Amino acid sequence: MKITITILLMLSLSANASPLLPDFQAISKSNITFMGTPHDRIILETANHYIVKSPLTNFESFDYYYLQLPKNSRQHSWYLQNTNVVLEEPGEFLIVEVRNENQLLELASQAHHDGSACGMIQKLSSMPVDLHKQDAPERVQSKQADVSDAVAKVKIANILETVQTMVSWQTRYEGLAQGEDTAEKLQIMYQDLTPADRADVSIQLVNHRGTSQPSIVVRIEGDQQPEKLVILGSHIDSINQNNNGNAPGADDNASGTATNLEVFRVLMASGFRPRHSIEIHGYAAEEIGLVGSKEIAESYKKQNKQVLAMVQFDMNGYASGEPKITFVSNGTTSNLTRQLQELAKMYNSIPATTGFLMFGSSDHASWSRQGFPVAFPTEDPFRFNNAIHTADDTLDKMNSPKQTEEFGKLGVAYLMHFAK
């Protein structure tokens, strides 16, 4: 039976709400209509629910995390016994209050033991989600010679060399000193690839409230409409559910970060000068709640920045069979995904398909929450690399260099088509 959201929410969401009301409520999408919905209280949208905050929820003193539960969760009793669960939707998710760094690290470790999927834990904030999702502009009409020339410059050897370099750092876990240095090391690598005459390129480290690991933002200023942004992202951290001091993170996600560095090299080598600004992002602390991307996306939203498109590269080096590019169909923007599939047909030599991501997510989710158009091409989400989040996520487990190279070509084609 359908009810209106006002039956429950008029009490729980008014400015005069009782202090005894819960911090959060889960409102089923199938049982409500949106007449009178207080959209500024909806802080997360899941497959089946809207997570709604109380006006009294204290985000200043406490941190709250959304934890997606896998089917037959092995750690469910641990969560209930060892964390402060403030909301539970049985078999789907928990909202957990975290009061210190040690609690967060233990929660992240247990969550990865439970599901071994990126994005199953997401940090919440008081900023509401934007339920009015934007479409990307139509920028793919036909194959272009200059893009084909640039795509041909992508070299898999460069990507694999960068992956091995990042693996040699031993860990990029955000809670350790080596992890905190990751963005600075990548900054040097981008600087080394930037020609002296490219004053339009800037490289910035972005500090965060929710982690001591900075993110990195590499910007190529547009020469005509620089206020419009085309973003290519990856996460730069790694995790090992057993020992974070040994978290090589080759496929997850040195592969995506190294691919983006190669995309940048190709743009510089091709002398590409975009009309709109290009930003290549390396996000901190994805593995403990999409922290870096969440803070950056919220900041861009508050500043009313014009994001034309955001594409995330997270894991592209493993194939259980023939290499292919899988575009995630849920939690993404259909018209942007369609255009990327068209680019794949034009510039890639391996098949492209779509797939439903049953569990977990990546940093594109932070941008989708703010209403920006997003796409997420990745390796096969149904048969992904089982070495991730362990000490075995090394370069030799990235068994499909051809697939990785094709992601590099897709990244070049995407940025050139959407930013020119």
pLDDT digits (tens, 9 = 90+) for 328-353: 999 999 999 999 999 999 999 999 99
Q: What pLDDT is stored for residue 16 in this prediction? A: 38
pLDDT tens digits, residue range 151-208? 999 999 999 999 999 999 999 999 999 999 999 999 999 999 999 999 999 999 999 9
293 has a pLDDT exceeding 50: yes
pLDDT tens digits, residue range 258-280? 999 999 999 999 999 999 999 99
Cα-based distances in Å from 93 to 89, 98, 115, 118: 5, 16, 12, 15
What is the domain extent for residue 313? 145-419
Contact 178, 238 (CB under 8 A): no
Residues 169 and 222 in one domain: yes
11 has a pLDDT exceeding 60: no
Q: What pLDDT is stored for residue 17 in this prediction? A: 38
Number of compact structural domains in the chain: 2
CA–CA dist 338, 375 (Å, integer): 9
Judge whether 130 lies within some domain: no
236 has a pLDDT exceeding 90: yes
148 has a pLDDT exceeding 90: yes
CA–CA dist 123, 388 (Å, integer): 21
Residues 88 and 170 in one domain: no
Judge whether 212 lies within some domain: yes
Q: What pLDDT is stored for residue 71 in this prediction? A: 78
For 29-149, list the strands marked E by DSSP: 32-33, 42-45, 49-53, 63-68, 84-89, 93-98, 121-123
Residues 104 and 199 in one domain: no
Q: What pLDDT is stored for residue 60 in this prediction? A: 77
CA–CA dist 416, 274 (Å, integer): 7
Pick the residue with more confidence: 162 or 13? Answer: 162
Banded pLDDT at 212 (limits 50, 70, 90): very high
> H-type helices in 20-176, by residue range?
76-82, 101-115, 145-151, 156-168
Residues 171 and 105 in one domain: no
CA–CA dist 420, 417 (Å, integer): 6
Judge whether 140 lies within some domain: no
Q: What pLDDT is stored for residue 101 in this prediction? A: 84
Residues 106 and 187 in one domain: no
Residues 213 and 176 in one domain: yes
pTM for the full predicted model: 0.92
Banded pLDDT at 256 (limits 50, 70, 90): very high
Q: What pLDDT is stored for residue 327 in this prediction? A: 98
What residues are paired with 24 via a beta bridge? 53
Residues 90 and 178 in one domain: no
Judge whether 129 lies within some domain: no
- The whole-chain average pLDDT of the chain stands at 91
DSSP letter for 119, please.
Answer: T
Banded pLDDT at 395 (limits 50, 70, 90): very high
Judge whether 135 lies within some domain: no
Which of 369, 104, 358 has the alpha carbon at shortest distance from 239? 104
Judge whether 138 lies within some domain: no
Residues 198 and 307 in one domain: yes
Residues 60 and 179 in one domain: no
Q: What pLDDT is stored for residue 374 in this prediction? A: 98
Q: Return the residue matching tokens 């991307």.
A: 293
Residues 116 and 245 in one domain: no
Residues 179 and 291 in one domain: yes
131 has a pLDDT exceeding 70: yes
Q: What pLDDT is stored for residue 67 in this prediction? A: 93
Judge whether 398 lies within some domain: yes
**The domain that contains 224 carries what CATH number?**
3.40.630.10
Judge whether 367 lies within some domain: yes
Which of 257, 254, 263 has the alpha carbon at shortest distance from 408? 263
Last residue of a domain, one of 89, 123, 157: 123
Residues 318 and 177 in one domain: yes
